[in-house]
Amino acid sequence: MATAMVEAAIFQGLSWNPLADLRELFAYPFMVNALEAGTIVAVMGGVIGWFMVLRRQTFAGHTLSVIAFPGAAAASLAGLPLAVGYFGFCGLGALALAGIAGSRRSLSAESAAIGSLQALALALGFLFVSLYHGVLNGLDSLLFGTFLGITGRQVTVLLAVAAAAVALVAIAARPLFFASVDGDVARARGVPVRALGFGFLLVLGLSVAETSQITGALLVFALLVTPAATAHQLTPRPGLGIALSVTLALAVTWLGLALAYFSIYPVGFYVTSLSFGLYLLVRVSRALASRRRTTGRLALEAA
Amino acid sequence: MFAHEFMRHALIAGSFVGLACGLVGYFVVLRAQVFAGDALSHVAFTGALAAAVLGLNILAGLFAATILGGIIMGILGDKARADDVTIGSLFAWTLGLGVLFLTIFTTQDSAGNGTAGVRVLFGSIFGLSTTDVRNAVVLAVLAGALLLAIARPLLFASLDTAVAAAQGVPVRALGLVFLALLGLVSAQATQAVGALLLLGLLAAPAGAAHRLTTRPYLGLALSALFSVGSIWIGLTLSYVFPTLPPSSMIIAAAVGVYVLALATTAARDPSAFWLRQANGNVA
């Protein structure tokens, strides 16, 4: 961390003292708000993302985060508050996705259905935007977010939403884990698998919708997928995996925010690059380790 | 309607893009890789912006990025069949890179602000030049021919990977070639009609074809037919009602065909449909 800071400082020609730079990070309220918001989103993304990756619902998760866009566009067209559009559309989307997943057709039919749903959502969003005229400027910020313009009130809203989402997942954690790992056995044991699946998608959709309003859909998606995928590569144990996923998400968010502060490039770039780099590193080292094991076994067999 | 040059261009380019998307889409759905198409359309966005920042040919950037993206997904995935999580991670990083290039681009050239991004995302089928149309036609024919050339072994490899591999079919190489081909079609479709259309044209017509028949070559033909048909319907609707954007109308038509296919298969054999639903609840 310290070396990265020093590098960042060289970038700006600030100082050679990492402690002074660290102090400067907390000097401005907007930076404190961004760090708080980033921490909240990272914890939420780490926990919910771990289950999303376990359930192989990355495509569904991305579709849900896209559905927020037509929701917002429809609400501004109808003159309703934005939140109504966000929550209404995300609820409907979760319902549709749960129906697709629940009908237990083949993997290919599910993939086609989710893709069609997402394309329809985007098409509707674009239709609403062009009927409404000229909110296209908001599109970039809706997609990519403005992490550095967060107010104190928004941090409170984020905290409430994230706490509710994490609490819901924590309450249902054991049956959800059971249902995700082996749906058939769980159903036979009386676990309400379909209801859990729908509930999980609803929580995922609503939390993504609310947080992407504030930080942009990109960052939420990045924090949902990559740290969780890395954690799944490292350990199959649920408790340790979730802790690892949260830790990684926190680390990349803080480091990304700090790097973005000392350079002119956006937060999203740093956070996604850091987490993807970690993921690649773990993948490559695992592949190398398994190759070494295989060659070792072959050598033993030969001898 | 045919008197306007922009309309003729849109119809010709749209038909060929639709043809390529329909054919490739059939295999995309068969191999359950719609998410890869979704990711590649965003890779195209990043590639185009990167080329714009570096001052290179935007078209070259687009194609290089999507074909490279397809190959990376193939390499990282198991058995060259990129999985959900790998695609998701690569996808998030691509978006991050896209933001970076967008920032550099907008700070570099304050005149060409965010509208460039919107154009790439949603396309402008009514604004195609003669060169654009020629490129679209040539690439669509090329991609279609390449796909049909590998159709038989690809079909075998997609339906039963283990048996195909045992029979000596190069499963991994085929998967990589297919993803690279998907990258090519993504770049072409993004350039002509926008990333939004790409996903809809990959998923919906092919999904409908898969519902209606299990015979592969009939399915391929149906998928291409539905895809081209949706483009014509969408363009006509958008011409008749100028306030409606063409890309939205094309997707609406494609999804309409898909829903119709779901409904007719459900109506043709209602007992099987409800049985499956019930099985979903119980089994």
Q: How far apart are CA B48 and CA B64, in angstroms?
A: 9
Please, are residues A236 and B61 in contact by the beta-carbon 8 Å criterion? no
Measure B223 CA to nearest chain A CA, in Å: 12
Measure A154 CA to nearest chain B CA, in Å: 23
Measure A51 CA to nearest chain B CA, in Å: 12
Q: How far apart are CA B14 and CA B17, in angstroms?
A: 5
Nearest to A45 by CA among A272, A278, A281: A272
CB contact under 8 A, A123 and B29: no
- Distances, alpha carbon A111 to alpha carbons A52, A100, B35, B76, B104, in Å: 16, 9, 7, 20, 35
Nearest to A87 by CA among A172, A173, A208, A171: A208
Write the CB contacts of B116 (distance below 8 Å, at least 6 apart in sequence).
B49, B52, B105
- Chain B CB contacts of A58 under 8 Å are 35, 84-85, 87-88
- Return the pLDDT at B194: 73
CB contact under 8 A, A218 and B95: yes
Interface A-B: count of C-beta contacts within 8 A: 204
**What is the average per-residue pLDDT within A277-285?**
91
Q: Give me the percent of chain A exceeding a pLDDT of 90.
A: 17
- For residue range B28-67, list pLDDT tens digits in order: 999 888 888 888 888 887 888 888 888 777 778 888 888 8
**What is the average per-residue pLDDT within B18-22?**
92
Q: Which of B196, B210, B254 sits opposite A109 (nearest CB)?
A: B210
Instruction: Tell me which of B27, B41, B43, B85 to substitute to probe the interface with A (most A C-beta atoms closer than 10 Å).
Output: B85
- For residue range A136-158, list pLDDT tens digits in order: 445 555 555 566 677 788 888 88
Q: How far apart are CA A210 and CA A71, in angstroms?
A: 12
- Return the pLDDT at A282: 92
CB contact under 8 A, A102 and B255: no
For residue B109, name the pLDDT band (cuts at 50, 70, 90). low
Looking at the domain B5-275, which fold is it? ABC transporter involved in vitamin B12 uptake, BtuC (1.10.3470)
CB contact under 8 A, B280 and A194: yes
- Chain A CB contacts of B197 under 8 Å are 119
- Chain A CB contacts of B254 under 8 Å are 116, 119
CB contact under 8 A, B100 and A269: yes
CB contact under 8 A, A108 and B29: yes
Looking at the domain A25-302, which fold is it? ABC transporter involved in vitamin B12 uptake, BtuC (1.10.3470)
- Return the pLDDT at B119: 57
